[in-house]
């Protein structure tokens, strides 16, 4: 029964889908030049070389972490309280809402050029790009959480004599915790995207430098290996945040 159970766990939709995708990819790569579509073993080999044998991807990731961490931290530190304030106070939303929506729909690659004009080529425009890339998503998600606070909870708090500040801190903010965690997950993914975009547009360093170099040399296997590295990194970080979400909001798992 133990072996049968393990076999059943393997035959799941994600495993089947991945198997079919890799099989189809392998078939399509037959007879194709390496610079057009390398085979799965070629990409896997380059992935191993870049991560284990040579470690170039880890070095590039280290160079990219400064913009990702600083820009992401600023987006979280500003976006969470601003989003909750906008969701609980119409006046704050009326003042800040148009700017948040404008940045949300603006093409970040075009804004990055303006950041270069303002800050020069260095770390600052990369931080600004990451911030603009993920802050609007964090703000709008937290706004939603604050706005969906049940009216009855607010009214009960006021009946018991809670001030406006107490209602905000002890009712609206706790209700927004699941949305804050969700905003963090969404912001993390966009921070990774913004970091790579900034390095491609602003200053060719880190992961952006590797992607640009592989593309210019038509090294498609290395290019795909780097993209898979980013996908795996994002998935691992998201999984960690999901576990954190379960820890801080256990009641949501019972629903």
Tell me what the mean pLDDT of segment 99-122 comes to.
83
- For residue 26, tell me if it sits in a domain: no
Domain count, the chain: 1
- For residue 119, tell me if it sits in a domain: yes
Q: How far apart, in whole angstroms, are the C-alpha atoms of residue 161 and residue 67?
A: 45
- For residue 56, tell me if it sits in a domain: yes
Instruction: Provide, rounded to the nearest whole percent, the portion of the chain with pLDDT above 90.
Output: 13
More confident residue, 166 or 70: 70
CATH number (domain holding residue 189)? 1.10.3720.10
Task: Judge residue 84's burial from the number of C-beta atoms within 10 Å of its C-beta, 0-12 exposed, 13-18 middle, 19 or more buried.
Answer: buried
- For residue 130, tell me if it sits in a domain: yes
Q: How far apart, in whole angstroms, are the C-alpha atoms of residue 202 and residue 124?
A: 10
pLDDT band at 200 (very low <50, low <70, confident <90, very high): confident
Tell me what the mean pLDDT of segment 228-251 comes to.
78
pLDDT band at 14 (very low <50, low <70, confident <90, very high): low
Range from 45-49, 56-60, 122-126, 242-246 carrying the lowest mean pLDDT? 242-246
Instruction: Provide, rounded to the nearest whole percent, the portion of the chain with pLDDT above 70.
Output: 90
**pLDDT at residue 203 above 70?**
no
- For residue 27, tell me if it sits in a domain: no
Q: What is the pLDDT of residue 214?
A: 86
**pLDDT at residue 12 above 80?**
no
- For residue 129, tell me if it sits in a domain: yes
Q: What is the pLDDT of residue 3?
A: 52
**pLDDT at residue 244 above 80?**
no
Average pLDDT, the chain: 82
Q: What is the pLDDT of residue 173?
A: 83
Contact present, 49 and 210 (Cβ < 8 Å): no
Tell me what the mean pLDDT of segment 24-40 comes to.
84
Tell me what the mean pLDDT of segment 177-194 comes to.
86
- For residue 113, tell me if it sits in a domain: yes
pLDDT band at 157 (very low <50, low <70, confident <90, very high): confident
- For residue 206, tell me if it sits in a domain: yes
Structural domain span for residue 95: 44-254
The three-state (H, E, C) secondary structure of the chain, written as one string:
CHHHHHHHHHCCHHHHHHHHHHHHHHHHHCCCCCCCCCCHHHHHHHHHHHHHHCCHHHHHHHHHHHHHHHHHHHHHHHHHHHHHHHHHCHHHHHHHHHHHHHHHHCCHHHHHHHHHHHHCCCHHHHHHHHHHHHHHHHHHHHHHHHHCCCHHHHHHHHHCCCCHHHHHHHHHHHHHHHHHHHHHHHHHHHHHHHHHHHHHHCCCCHHHHHHHHHHHCCCHHHHHHHHHHHHHHHHHHHHHHHHHHHHHCHHHHHC
Q: What is the pLDDT of residue 204?
A: 67
Q: How far apart, in whole angstroms, are the C-alpha atoms of residue 138 and residue 207?
A: 24
**pLDDT at residue 232 above 90?**
no
Q: How far apart, in whole angstroms, are the C-alpha atoms of residue 135 and residue 156?
A: 33
Residue 95 backbone dihedrals phi, psi, to 5 degrees: -80, -50
């Amino acid at each position: 029964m133990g072996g049968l159970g393990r076999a059943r766990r393997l035959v799941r939709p994600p495993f089947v889908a991945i198997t079919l995708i890799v099989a189809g990819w392998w078939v399509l790569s037959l007879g194709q030049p390496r610079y057009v579509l390398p085979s799965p073993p070629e990409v896997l080999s380059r992935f191993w070389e870049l991560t284990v044998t040579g470690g170039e991807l880890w070095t590039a990731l280290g160079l990219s972490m400064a913009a990702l961490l600083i820009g992401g931290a600023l987006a979280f530190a500003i976006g969470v309280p601003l989003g909750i304030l906008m969701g609980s106070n119409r006046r704050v939303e009326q003042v800040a809402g148009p700017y948040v929506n404008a940045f949300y729909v603006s093409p970040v690659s075009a804004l990055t050029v303006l950041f270069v004009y303002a800050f020069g080529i260095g770390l600052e425009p990369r931080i600004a790009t990451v911030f603009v890339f993920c802050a609007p998503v964090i703000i709008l998600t937290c706004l939603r959480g604050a706005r969906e606070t049940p009216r009855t909870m607010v009214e009960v708090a006021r009946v018991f004599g809670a001030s406006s500040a107490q209602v905000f801190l002890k009712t609206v903010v706790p209700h927004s915790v699941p949305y804050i965690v969700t905003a963090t997950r969404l912001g993390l993914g966009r921070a990774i995207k913004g970091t790579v975009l900034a390095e491609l547009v602003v200053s060719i360093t880190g992961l952006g430098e590797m992607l640009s170099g592989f593309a210019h040399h038509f090294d498609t296997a290395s290019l795909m290996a780097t993209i898979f590295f980013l996908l795996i990194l994002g998935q691992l970080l998201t999984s960690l945040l999901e576990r954190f979400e379960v820890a801080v909001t256990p009641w949501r798992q019972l629903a």
